[in-house]
Chain A
Amino acid sequence: MTAPSGIKPPTISLRFFRWFCDPTIAEDIEGDLTEMFLREAHKDTLSHARWRFTLNVLRLFRPGIIRKVKNPSSHFHPSPMFKNYFITSVRSLARSKGFSTINIIGLAVGLATFSLISFYVYHEMSFDRYHKNADRIVRVVENLRTENELLFQSVSSPPMGPHLLNDFPEVESYARFQNWSLLAERNGISYYEPDSYLADSTVFDIFSFNLLQGDKKSALREPFSIVLTESMAKKYFDGEDPVGQTIKMDYDNYKVTGVMEDVPENSHFRFSNLISFSTWSRNNKQAENGEWFWNGFHTYLLLRDAGSIDKVRAKMKAFIGRNMEKGGMYYEDLPLQPLASIYMAPLRSWENGTRGSLNNVYILSIIAMFILLIACFNYVNLATARASRRLKEVGLRKSLGAMRRMLVAQFLGESIIVTLLASLLGMLIAWLILPSFRTIVESRLSFSILPDPWIIAGAGLGLILFIGILAGAYPALIISGFQPLQIFRPSVKGIYSHHNFRKVLVSVQFVISIMLVAGTLLVQDQIELVKNQDLGFNKNATLVVPTNGDTVIMNHLDAVKNELKALKGVVAVTGSASVPGRSTTNNYTQIEMTDGKMSPTNINFNYVDHDFLTTYSIKLLAGRDFRRDVKADDTTAFLINETAVKDFGWTPEQALGKKIHHRYQGKIIGVIKDFNYMSLHNKVEPLMLSLSAWPNRISIRLDETDLTASVDRVQRKWTELAPNLPFDYTFLDVDFDRQYKADQQLSKVAGIFTGLAIFIGCLGLLGLTSFAVERRTKEIGIRKVLGASVGSVVVLIAREFLWLIVIALLVSTPITWYLIQRWEQNFTLQAVINPLRFLVAGVCVFVFAWMTISLLSFRAATANPTKALRTE
């Protein structure tokens, strides 16, 4: 039984064993280990045997086997030496309290911001990963081709799920969702529940939503079953057991069949309740089987294994061809999005839930790195600047035989101690500002999303070591490199020659500061531009109230509108299916082209009433608005927007009279000027308006003076007219600007962290200046005796640093320019980059730096020169 050459125990473990084992017994134990290893390698797999070997080695690592510590008479006493290192470190920190404080505070603030931003970034990246099956769940989305365009939609149609399950062995299960906005009511408690979702009964098998009460399999099987989240259950059934009871949603009664935990905050869509899919499908069997273009659903598939996604993708084209007729509109592809990627994926139309911005995550991560870098540079600067104070100590140690390696270890140890102290303080700071940080990023950032505390502790420790070494490496090498002879006979030259290096670091700090300031200003410019942009409609002082299709309001719509219009402070009232800033529907439509043929398209629609254009101040380019006196308008008239006209290759005048087949057959009676009914992240898309008597929302334009009183009046009138409907209003401009929420957050967060970066940078500058002043105490004294003015002394000291700002400005301008330009590509409209902003940033950094420097140099300049000259 000789060993084949390939079968060897793991080298690392073997070496470890040889290192720790008592040499008098090492041979035979190693033999035992090898024998057992070879035996197992024959019986079992090699990797298993190797693993067992390592395990055995670790088990041998115990007293009795470990070699005895060498007898104490040898020359080497490591522990007193380390103790001495520690004492000198602490003493040197304590001796220069100012420097240490600056170092520790700077690092602490840096670490605090770094950890907060990391937390946020982790939160953003953790979306949907908590599902047990996360890697096997995908969402079916559509690339829909119409004659005129290619639409990227997040939605899918009801037959897709069942057919995919049927046709692909790789698919294990599916779940479809549809968002219903319902008015819930029980025992007089009534709220809108806009996040109600229709869901297949498989939802609890596929997703790891935690069902607290009820049966996973059957909870959503019967029609009119509803599963509530804990918080919704509490809202309507406070203290009672909701299971088995009923709750009214809109006009139907639903039986509560289960209660689940609230959907975790890091989910790409969240709901307050789930309604059984059969509630819908029992009356829509035909649609469920054949309506391939009813795109009102979100379909999720559970694959049998994570790797099969490509297999399914490859067969998708054939699936489409097999099941769907290629009419005027067809699916070019049905891509599959892995669950965890949805939150950060590029937006598709009709998304469910909120989406994150990968861009912002990147930008914030970079800012976090920058801040940490600035803090580290501070340490490096101050430590090298202070090196001269430690020279005697180093010289003495070297004369007594200390090796360079030991000195490096000593100074690295010192910087790690500083980092450790800073991280403790940093943790306190982070903990204190966490609540306000949560408000800014508008996210709960609960600790529950974080991994095991041990992992965090490990990562934190790693970070501390990393920062300690990063910041301590250069000073350690510099200080330990001095020759003892040089130190005790200071010709000074060699010792102070690290000026240039420090200047580079200071310049980099300035570069970063200027970039952050200029960047923040430019981001704000862009957001201001977008917010104040003429959108083609009036969004000010407009109240939007949902009607929920309430029969009382619908049946007396004109009367309701007139009542509201009669109120003091109300300028105009209109009802519509959707309002700007909210998603519109797009619908299959046929449009007469220039050659007279009817061409199918999927165009955005909004259903409005006669007052829509006037209420929103939307201009007409050609033709006329809907007219009350023309009864035929109700069933034949369409308005179309400028972009659509251009897309079809018409002039506005040519567009008039073109035939349209939609819900009814009619023609275009007017062309409206483009208005941005979506955010400026998107281009204006083609849009049609037609009349409807069933508005989902009523928009009320108010007089801009005395808004609050007007809102009060409207509210009173509303509760009088429709006592059962909550007056759940929003202001259109606020609602519309929420589309820029992510951008505004970015600007706020960037602003705050910019301030911090400048703060840390100035701390460092303060330290450096105080050092420069201290070193030149005598020089200043002599200069003053010889008649130098206070001003000239201040300039003398400040000069050293101020021209660095100029260089920094030159370096940072092009970088920032480029980055901001890239960022502005997110918008359809870009602000012109204003060069003045860089100047402002430069001046701003200059002012802060100047103030910091002057503070100390002024003190030095005004001090009595006799004191300075008497110090020896």
Chain B
Amino acid sequence: MNRHQLGEFEEIVLLTVGILYKKAYGVAIIDEIEQRLSRKVSIGALQTVLRRLEDKGYLSSELGEATSVRGGKRKRFFNLTTLGSRVLRETQDQRVELFKAIPRVAFPKQ
């Protein structure tokens, strides 16, 4: 299990790439995170994490078609790999397990 530890931001990025299925590239990921979580994401942080996740084998990427909007530069689309989706699911299960293990009395009354 230890091999597949995910950082919080890594997890969010992985989830977002999943959400954007086939359309996940830099700007789109930033937009999606900012929209859903209303949290600022710097391109520097994002790109580093994307490369790291790719190195770990959780993401794969391919270059898209060139468009004029981006100064003729191609987009790099990211996709979850099988390993990536498994790690994501495991992490999710862990969280749920942990949450369920909290005794009800621990929650302060609303």
Contacts and interface: CB of A to CB of B under 8 A. Distances in A.
A25 B73 CA distance: 11
Given A32-B25, A32-B43, A2 B68 contact: yes
Interface in B38-93: 42-45, 47-48, 51-52, 63, 68-71, 73-76
B37 interface: no
A31 B44 contact: no
Nearest to A31: B73
A35 B43 CA distance: 12
A28 B26 contact: yes
Interface SS of B by simple majority:
helix
Nearest to A56: B43
B26 A32 contact: yes
B27 interface: yes
Interface of A is mostly: helix
Given A28-B25, A28-B26, A31-B74, A60 B47 contact: yes
A36 B73 CA distance: 13
Interface residues of B, number: 21
A700 to B, nearest CB: 80
Contacts of A61: 44
Contacts, number: 72
Contact of B44 (A34, A35, A38, A65): A65
B42 A56 contact: yes
B34 to A, nearest CB: 12
A35 B63 contact: no
Nearest to B42: A59
A432 to B, nearest CB: 48
B28 to A, nearest CB: 9
B43 A60 contact: yes
A2 B69 contact: yes
B27 A35 contact: yes
Interface in A51-86: 56, 58-65
A30 B73 contact: yes
Contact of A64 (B25, B48, B71, B75): B48
A27 B72 CA distance: 9
Given A36-B27, A64-B52, A31 B75 contact: yes
Nearest to A29: B47
B43 A33 contact: yes
B76 to A, nearest CB: 4
Contacts of A28: 25-26, 63, 73-76
Interface residues of A, number: 24
Contact of A31 (B42, B48, B70): B70
B43 to A, nearest CB: 5
A332 B47 CA distance: 71
A7 to B, nearest CB: 11
Q: Tell which of B27, B48, B71, B75 has the most Cβ of chain A within 10 Å.
A: B71
Contacts of B45: 59
A56 B27 CA distance: 12
Contacts of B71: 3, 30-31, 34
A62 B44 contact: yes
Contacts of A2: 68-69
Contacts of B70: 31-32, 34-35
A8 to B, nearest CB: 9
Contacts of B26: 28-29, 31-32
Contacts of A64: 47-48, 51-52
B75 A59 contact: no
Interface string A513-528: 0000000000000000
A448 B70 CA distance: 52
Interface in A143-173: none
B22 to A, nearest CB: 16
A61 B25 CA distance: 20
A1 interface: yes
B60 to A, nearest CB: 14
B63 to A, nearest CB: 7
Given A34-B71, A61-B44, A64-B52, 14 more contacts: A28-B63, A31-B71, A32-B26, A32-B27, A34-B73, A35-B27, A35-B70, A36-B30, A56-B43, A58-B44, A59-B43, A60-B44, A60-B47, A65-B44
Interface of B: 25-27, 30, 42-45, 47-48, 51-52, 63, 68-71, 73-76
Closest 9 CB pairs of A and B: A31-B73, A59-B44, A32-B26, A28-B76, A31-B70, A64-B48, A34-B71, A60-B44, A59-B42
10 contacts: A2-B68, A28-B63, A28-B74, A32-B26, A32-B47, A33-B43, A36-B43, A58-B44, A59-B42, A64-B47
